[in-house]
C-alpha cells in the first residue's frame, strides 16, 4: 500500500493530531519512566510527522519504517537531528539501545502472520534499556467488528478521491482493505489500486506475548487519555516496561 500512496498518505489522515500524540507520549514518560527519557525510537514512523514533533520536544529521535517511499517523504521534510532507518521492524537490527520506544497508528495490527508479534517483541527487547518503556496502540477487536466489517468509506475532492472497502474474516481476524485512489496529475487522474491487511488482536493475547518476551504491561488506556479502555474503545494504548 505505502509504496503507491506515500506521496499523499498524510492527506488520508487529516484527523490525526500528531502534536497531541507527542504531548501524550511525553506525559506517559513523565508518569512511568524511572529515569528521564532522552532517546526514543519511533517504530513504523511513516512520513515522520510524529518523529519530528517529538524531536522538537527535545528527544533524540530515530524513525524506523519498512517503506522506503514513506521515509523518502520524511527525509524531505525538515527533520534536523532525526536518524531515519529503513527496516522491517519485525527484524529490527538497530545501532544501540533507547530509553523508550513508541509506535502509533496500529502498526501491530499490520503483523498478520502467525509468530510475527512474538518475533517483533523479542527483537525489540534487545534495543530498549532495562526498565525502559514501550508504548504502542492497536485498533481494537471492537473496531474491526463494528467499524470496519463490511463497511465502505469514501472521500471526493478535486485532486484526490478514494473508495475504501473492508472485508473482515471473523475466523482469521484479518481485515482486508481494498482501496482505489484517483490522484490528479496534470489534466487527468492517476488511478492507484492497493490492498492493505490488518489483524485484530485481543488485549489478552498481546499481554501474554509481551510477558513471554520480557515486558511488563504497566497500563492500558483508551485513545490519548488516561482512562481505562471500555468494551467499545476503538484505539487502545499499551504502556509496557522492559524487564531486567
- CATH number of the domain encompassing residue 68: 3.40.50.150
Alpha-carbon distance of 100 to 131, in angstroms, equals 9
| In a shared domain, residues 60 and 98 | yes
With contact defined as beta carbons under 8 Å apart, do 177 and 197 qualify? yes
Q: What is the CATH number of the domain that holds 192?
A: 2.20.25.110
Alpha carbon dihedral 16, 22, 28, 33, in 10-degree steps, equals 150
| In a shared domain, residues 52 and 118 | yes
With a cut of 70, which residues of the chain have pLDDT below it? 1-2
pTM for this predicted structure: 0.96
Q: For the beta carbon of residue 212, count every other beta carbon within 10 angstroms.
A: 11
Task: Sheet containing 39-43: give its strands across.
Answer: 83-86, 60-65, 39-43, 98-103, 128-139, 235-242, 215-222
Closest by CA to 135, choosing from 231, 41, 5, 230, is 41
With contact defined as beta carbons under 8 Å apart, do 147 and 164 qualify? no
| In a shared domain, residues 232 and 180 | no
With contact defined as beta carbons under 8 Å apart, do 133 and 35 qualify? no
Given this model, what pLDDT does residue 68 score? Answer: 93
| In a shared domain, residues 149 and 229 | no
Report CA-CA distances (Å) from 200 to 85, 101, 119. Answer: 27, 22, 17
| In a shared domain, residues 58 and 135 | yes
| In a shared domain, residues 225 and 115 | yes
**Total count of domains within the chain:** 2
| In a shared domain, residues 109 and 49 | yes
Given this model, what pLDDT does residue 1 score? Answer: 61
Domain hosting 40: range is 2-139+200-242
Tens of pLDDT along 83-137? 999 999 899 999 999 999 999 999 999 999 999 999 999 999 999 999 999 999 9
In a 13 Å sphere around the CA of 155, the CA atoms on its Cβ side amount to 13
Given this model, what pLDDT does residue 76 score? Answer: 81
Given this model, what pLDDT does residue 78 score? Answer: 76
Given this model, what pLDDT does residue 75 score? Answer: 86
Amino acid at each position: 500500500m505505502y509504496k503507491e500512496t506515500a506521496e499523499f498518505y498524510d492527506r488520508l489522515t487529516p484527523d490525526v493530531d500528531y502534536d497531541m500524540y507527542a504531548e501524550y507520549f511525553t506525559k506517559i514518560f513523565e508518569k512511568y519512566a524511572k529515569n528521564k527519557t532522552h532517546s526514543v525510537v519511533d517504530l513504523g514512523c511513516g512520513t515522520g510527522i510524529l518523529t519530528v514533533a517529538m524531536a522538537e520536544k527535545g528527544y533524540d529521535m530515530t524513525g524506523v519504517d519498512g517503506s522506503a517511499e514513506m521515509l523518502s517523504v520524511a527525509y524531505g521534510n525538515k527533520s534536523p537531528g532525526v536518524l531515519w532507518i529503513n527496516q522491517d521492524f519485525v527484524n529490527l537490527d538497530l545501532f544501540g539501545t533507547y530509553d523508550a520506544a513508541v509506535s502509533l497508528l496500529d502498526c501491530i495490527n499490520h503483523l498478520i502472520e502467525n509468530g510475527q508479534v512474538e518475533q517483533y517483541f523479542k527483537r525489540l527487547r534487545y534495543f530498549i534499556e532495562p526498565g525502559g518503556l514501550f508504548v504502542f496502540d492497536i485498533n481494537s477487536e471492537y473496531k474491526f467488528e463494528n467499524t470496519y466489517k463490511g463497511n465502505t468509506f469514501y472521500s471526493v475532492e478535486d485532486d484526490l478521491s478514494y473508495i475504501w472497502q473492508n472485508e473482515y474474516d471473523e475466523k482469521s481476524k484479518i481485515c482486508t482493505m481494498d482501496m482505489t485512489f484517483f490522484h490528479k496529475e496534470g489534466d487527468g487522474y492517476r488511478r492507484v489500486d492497493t490492498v492493505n491487511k490488518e489483524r485484530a488482536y485481543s488485549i489478552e493475547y498481546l499481554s501474554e506475548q509481551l510477558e513471554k518476551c520480557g515486558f511488563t504491561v504497566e497500563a492500558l488506556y483508551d485513545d490519548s487519555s488516561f482512562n481505562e479502555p471500555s468494551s467499545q474503545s476503538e484505539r487502545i494504548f499499551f504502556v509496557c516496561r522492559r524487564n531486567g
